[in-house]
Amino acid sequence: MTPTRGFDTYRLLLRNQWKTTKRSSKTKQSPFIWLVLGAMVCYVGFTLFVLGYHFERFAIVFFPGSIPVLVVNQYLLAGFLSLFFIRFLFQQTPRMKLTPYLHLPLLKRDLVVFFQASSLISVHNVYPMLFFVPFWLRYVLPGHEPVAAWLWIISIMGLIGASHFGNLVLRSILRWRAAYFYPLIVLLIVITILDETSGYGMTRTLSGFMFGQILSANMVSFTLTMSIFLAFGVWSSVLLLKTLRRPVITAPETAIVRKPRTVPARFGVTGQLFYLELLLMWRNRRPRHYLILSLVFSTMYLVIMMATELAYGGFIFDGLIGLFASGGFVLNYGQLMFSWDSTHFDGLISRNITFRQIIRAKLLLLQASCLILFLLSLPLFIWLKPELLAVHVAFLLYNAGITTVLVMELATRNSQSVDISQSGSFFNYEGFSSKHWLWFIPTALPPTLFMIAVQNHLFAGLILLASLGFVNLICTELWTNYFSRGLSLRKYEIAQGFRNNAR
């Protein structure tokens, strides 16, 4: 059969992608979910537009008397590096959409070109332009030569594209060599610390120089920026084509002789379940990656937010820092607490184990993680922001007592299955739905708003926050009974959901 080529292929793929979007299960969300998502999308888009068009009114808080264009030029590279990291956590690769077409008589090269180009239409690329376009129209275009102004906005789009394709390159490399992720994270943390604590601000200096040169119609800086975009675009396409022609072959599992370890009898069934949860987390790729992700949030994010004085946003960031410092594991791993058990959930509910014992072990794991992350991130607070030690202690109790309960409420209502042995993309979000992302609002927004409300009486506010968490921590047994009753009522519904989603 002669393969379809060129524009015929693109027209076919475009038509099929449109049908897929309309028929996707994601479009079958309840009207309430669509209303909330639509409101969030419009709010964020409107905020970015207003921020770009009236930038001088916001910049005067942190940069009084500064020229808006110069301020933005200085932070462009740092902003795109941050965008790159956010993409790495949430952006999906085109390969996931491309795979169903591999059995058709279509050239792999045409598939790569289409899905690489269509992947540029994403929220990660559209949202930044909602800020830069009005900013360009208000501050760049009127005050500079038209050619230089157009070079500037094209360079911005080039950097957004470079961030997009660079992320695909990194994920493709990690698909083959996942162990590279850990030294890369350590290297990025070290560079961030050295750059911000040394006082030189090399990133800001380099960014300001590059884009200042572009506004002077310097073709060298413009060519460098666009060359980076083209290089990452070609490189990511080549790597994607390589994975299609030579798929990743997972090494066959070999029998590993492990020395049997037993939990002392005095810890009872709860201790055994706690130990089995640790084994599940460490021996399976997906749960282990969420553990690493939690460590990243509790270290790298803290370094970025605390080491950069000018970017430090006061009490809003206080709430986020406190939340992630000790609650990163709860927010990431905890949302899928029962999805990790989806493949053997039927066997779990048929055993002579009560839901009360299961819930107690899982709550204990989440609460213990808060203490461990608290201790791991404590040196960062002592070194970079000792004035936030009280915030750190207060949020330890808040996360252990309240955040764990909020996340467990979501986990006990989740029926999305997860294949914990899946070894596909480095970070994928199987098992997540829109409600998982929306649940972050009632989890993160209240403590953040609380920190803003008590900023004039911070010490008293922190005592109140810690007290609420401590009281809730004392009531762990009551929450255990509440979740076990709810799980008992919904167990067949959840089990059916796990079976249906696993097909």
CB 363 within 8 A of CB 479: yes
User: pTM of the prediction?
Assistant: 0.64
Which of the residue ranges 108-117, 397-406, 419-428 would you say has the lowest mean pLDDT? Answer: 419-428
Q: Which amino acid is at 88?
A: F
State mean pLDDT over 261-274. Answer: 76
Per the structure block, which two tokens stand in for 429? 């979000």
Give me the pLDDT at residue 437, please: 61
State mean pLDDT over 319-345. Answer: 82
Give me the pLDDT at residue 312, please: 44
The Cα–Cα gap between 469 and 471 comes to 6
Instruction: For Cα atoms 171, 173, 174, give the angle at the middle one, nearest 5 degrees.
Output: 65
In the three-class reduction of DSSP (H, G, I as helix; E, B as strand; rest coil), residue 106 is classed as strand
Give me the pLDDT at residue 472, please: 92
Give me the pLDDT at residue 154, please: 93
For residue 262, with 0-12 CB atoms within 10 Å meaning exposed, 13-18 middle and 19 or more buried, which class applies? exposed
- Give 4's strand partners: 106
* Residues sharing a CB contact under 8 Å with residue 286, sequence separation 6 or more, in sequence order: 340, 418, 419, 420, 421, 422, 428, 430
pLDDT, tens digit, 9 for 90 and up, residues 72-114: 888 888 778 777 766 766 667 777 777 777 777 888 888 888 8
Neighbour count for residue 470 (Cβ, 10 Å): 16
* Residues sharing a CB contact under 8 Å with residue 151, sequence separation 6 or more, in sequence order: 214, 215, 217, 222
pLDDT, tens digit, 9 for 90 and up, residues 207-219: 888 888 888 888 8
pLDDT, tens digit, 9 for 90 and up, residues 354-389: 888 899 999 999 999 999 999 988 888 887 778 888
